[in-house]
Amino acid sequence: MTVDIGLNNPFAEQLEFFRNKLALPSERYDDILKAAHDRAFIVAGAANADLVNDLHQAMQRRIEDGKGLEAFRKEFKDVVLKHGWVGWTGEGSAAGHAWRTRVIYQTNMATSYAAGRWKQLTNPALLSVRPYWKYHHADGVMHPRPLHVSWDGLVLPWDHPFWLTHFPPNGWFCHCWVTAVDQKEYDKAKAEGRATPPPGWDTADPITGAPPGIDKGFDYAPGASVSKPLKEFIDEKLINLDAPVGASMYEAMRPILQQEMQAAYQAFLGEVLADPVKRGRVAIVGAIAPETLAWLEANKAIVPVTAEIAVQDALIVGRKAIRHQEAGDALTADDWARLPDILEKPDQILFDTVHGKLFYVASTSDPQRDARIAVEFDYLLKKKKGETNLLVSAFRVSKDALAGWIVGKLYEVVM
């Protein structure tokens, strides 16, 4: 089986991997780590969706045409000028520009190459004749990492857990690679003592959180998680981003993710309704819109720490839900099914002047009824581990009662 391995000589699996990545705004390089990079392209500090999309397209063109680093540097400069991007690490000097563009270019080239190789190496036809993988350290590296050198020639079964953390690249500017080998090669490595991972390979360095010899965030196998739903990566990122960036990211990605997001929420809702017991299940169903965030800061000096809007199973089937059922104003199953749409396109957003929460209001699906669907949302002003922004109440309310609350200054119209 012939495989192109040059970084400037791309192959189909490499191109497919990179093209399928979603460009995500980001503030820091560690906003997403490890396997999340299988589905997302980020550039630290590129918090504008259009900016990061243009950088993604520039990188994709260089993978496709193989014109190399200098061609990418020119496009990077053009994109930076187009969007007026300032404050990025490396800005202000030729050396800084050269370093930053090299990091972006080489890291994306290396990981897309590795992901393409992962797909090739896990092809069942190849595995049937070469079910072992061999680690190779690149000769001629100016500053070789001693542990990477020590792994050179190591041969292990393809499904050994070692590869899930040590499939290269294993750090910034790492040039190591893996090839598929047969039983004969494995037996030879075994006889030479090269068929067992070194002691401590699966321990974690207290500084990097990765196994010894691997840079922070590189302890994953590029391409091994491409089947993971994109929504999971978005949700994981959303709860860690500062609210303005998260809100912009969610708004920009919504058209692409809409079908997947709806399917995930409907599956969550179906599970909760079928098993109406509080189990701490949580689903992210939306995000505060950028204009709502702007209104909160401008009019109330309130700045939520993150932008996600989540719902917990307790709100749907817990005590509050039971009390609303007894009062006759509980949401129906159809109402709950509309929740993502209600949060995305409410008829009205109100601000609770007593408790400082947001109120999302929408018409019911029954035009003959005078009721409105109301869901109240509370946000965190300080990030607490394990906590997220949550919807805190949901019920039906009459149109007249709602108007009375506004007239009585209990609620203020946001938009």
d(CA 159, CA 326): 55
- Per-residue b or e along 132-164, where b marks 16 or more CB atoms closer than 10 Å to that residue's CB: bbbbbbeeeeeeebebbeebeebbbebebebbe
Task: Give the model's pLDDT for residue 37.
Answer: 82
Domain boundaries, the chain: 12-191, 230-413
Whether the per-residue pLDDT at 138 is higher than 60: the answer is yes
The least confident of 108-112, 243-247, 357-361 is 243-247
Predicted model pTM: 0.71
188: CB partners within 8 A, 6+ apart: none
Residue 4 has what pLDDT?
37
Whole-number pLDDT of residue 2: 34
Q: Give the model confidence (pLDDT) of 296-340 as tens digits.
A: 999 999 999 999 999 999 999 999 999 999 999 999 999 999 999
The pLDDT tens digits of the residues spanning 262-306 come to 888 999 999 999 999 899 999 999 999 999 999 999 999 999 999
- Torsion sign, CA atoms 102, 2, 153, 206: positive
Residue 17 predicted with pLDDT over 90? yes
Q: Choose among 103, 123, 1: nearest CA to 45.
A: 103
Asked if 100 contacts 69 with a C-beta cutoff of 8 angstroms, the reply is: no
Alpha carbons 105 and 149: distance in angstroms, whole number: 24
Does residue 8 surpass a pLDDT of 70?
Answer: no
Structure confidence by residue, pLDDT tens digits, 18-73: 998 888 887 777 766 677 788 888 898 888 888 999 999 999 999 999 899 999 99
H-run or E-run covering 62 = helix 49-65
Selection from 213, 230, 177, 285 nearest residue 37 by Cα: 230
Q: What is the pLDDT of residues 65-110, one digit of tens each?
A: 989 999 999 999 999 999 999 999 899 899 999 999 999 999 999 9
22 bridge partner residues: 40
Both structure tokens of 310? 């989540």
User: In the prediction, which pLDDT does 352 show?
Assistant: 95
Look over the chain and give the mean of its residue pLDDT values, rounded to a whole number: 90
Element of type H or E holding 206: none
Q: Helix, strand, or coil here: 83?
A: helix
